[in-house]
A = this chain, B = another copy of it.
Amino acid sequence: MGSESAALDSAFMALADPVRRSIIARLSRGPATVNELAEPFEISKQAVSKHIQVLEQAQLVTRTRDAQRRPVHLNPARLEALTAWIDQYRLVREGQFRSLDAVLRSNAADSSD
């Protein structure tokens, strides 16, 4: 129950980088290996590997084994969790009263964010 906040921390942090967002964009078209992901960028493969570790820790991607390859896959469920968080606040101002009580109800259980 408690540390969904830490999950949001790592997910938003992971997306706060243009290289990592490009990786997400690439993976939305299908799985890819570290080398394939590194190819379009100027930075080293080690650096790309670190970026993928960040995305993996944020649960935005997962990895499988395929012989000596380690394909990286997008995890769309985590992206949904982010829009779900944002939506509870952006709807407040948009719909001012229409959806207000739905938001308050989901906020009532917790107090902070």
Contact = CB atoms under 8 A, between A and B. Distances in A.
A44 B56 CA distance: 34
Contacts of A28: 88-89, 92-93, 103
A83 B86 contact: yes
Interface string A86-113: 1111111110111010011011111111
Interface residues of A, number: 54
A24 to B, nearest CB: 6
Nearest to A87: B83
Nearest to A19: B113
Interface of A: 1-5, 8-13, 15-18, 21-22, 24-25, 28-29, 74, 76-77, 79-94, 96-98, 100, 103-104, 106-113
A91 B76 contact: yes
Contacts of A4: 110-113
Contacts of A17: 9
Given A28-B92, A89-B25, A12 B8 contact: no
B86 A74 contact: no
Residue picked from A15, A28, A74, A87, most chain B C-beta under 10 Å: A15
